[in-house]
Structures are given as structure tokens and as C-alpha cells.
Amino acid sequence: MHVAHAADAPAAEEIAFDDFLKVDIRIGTIVEAEEFPQARKPSYRLKIDFGPAIGVKKSSAQIATNYALGELPGRQVAAVVNFPPRQIGPVMSEVLTLGFADAAGEVVLFAPDVHVPNGSRLF
């Protein structure tokens, strides 16, 4: 499935509200960020703390263009936590970190504008 990133892309097909509720989107705090030189696009490997119920999960994120490694730890991000793990090169990505495309098509992280508890679910 190809996901359109352009701001002028049409809306996706309509889904039922119950389908939306199946996607578990949570807030977590990045606790570790590392270079990921094996990735095809500039990426980092992240460890994100989603609180006691979900714990710390690994993710690969194509965010190296807009973010320096040192600014990521302590930053809150949103992620889908109930997709099956996905192998990305040598890394098993356990959650899908969410972002939006900027004007150049590079990823900008999606996060709350005020601190919320790790593990808070989008509703």
C-alpha cells in the first residue's frame, strides 16, 4: 500500500469508526536515539518509553533530515503500538512512529503540544 504524503492528496476512502478504534496510537518519550546507517533514507533507530502497560519499544524513523540525534531523547512522539513488528534492514521495528511531510517531503514528528503521560492513547 502506498501512502500519499502530498498536502493536496485526496482523502483516503471512508472507514467505519470501529476500524479507527482498532488503531492504537499512543504517546511515548524517546529515551534513546542512534544512527541507522543501513537504512535507505536518512533514519534513526529509536527506543521509546510508552509507560508501564506497554513499556519501551524500538522504532526506525526517517527523521534524520529534520532532527539532530541529540535533540531527540526526552521528546514525546506519537506511534501506532499495535501493528505487528516489522523487519527494517537489521532492525526489528516494534512501533510505527508518526509524522507528517513538510514542504520538501521530509518527516516532521507528530507530538502533543504539552506533556502528557507516556502511554496516553489518542481518541
Give DSSP secondary structure letters for 49-81: E--TTT-EEEEEE--TTT--GGG-TT-EEEEE-
Domain ranges of the chain: 17-109
pLDDT of 66: 96
pLDDT in tens, the chain (123 residues): 445 566 778 999 999 999 999 999 999 999 999 999 888 888 999 999 999 999 999 999 999 999 999 999 999 999 999 999 999 888 899 999 999 999 999 999 999 999 999 999 998
Q: How far apart are CA 111 and CA 76, in angstroms?
A: 6
pLDDT of 37: 86
pLDDT of 89: 83
pLDDT of 100: 95
CA 101 from centroid of its chain's CA atoms: 13
How is domain 17-109 classified at the CATH fold level? OB fold (Dihydrolipoamide Acetyltransferase, E2P) (2.40.50)
Q: Note the pTM of the prediction, 2 decimals.
A: 0.90
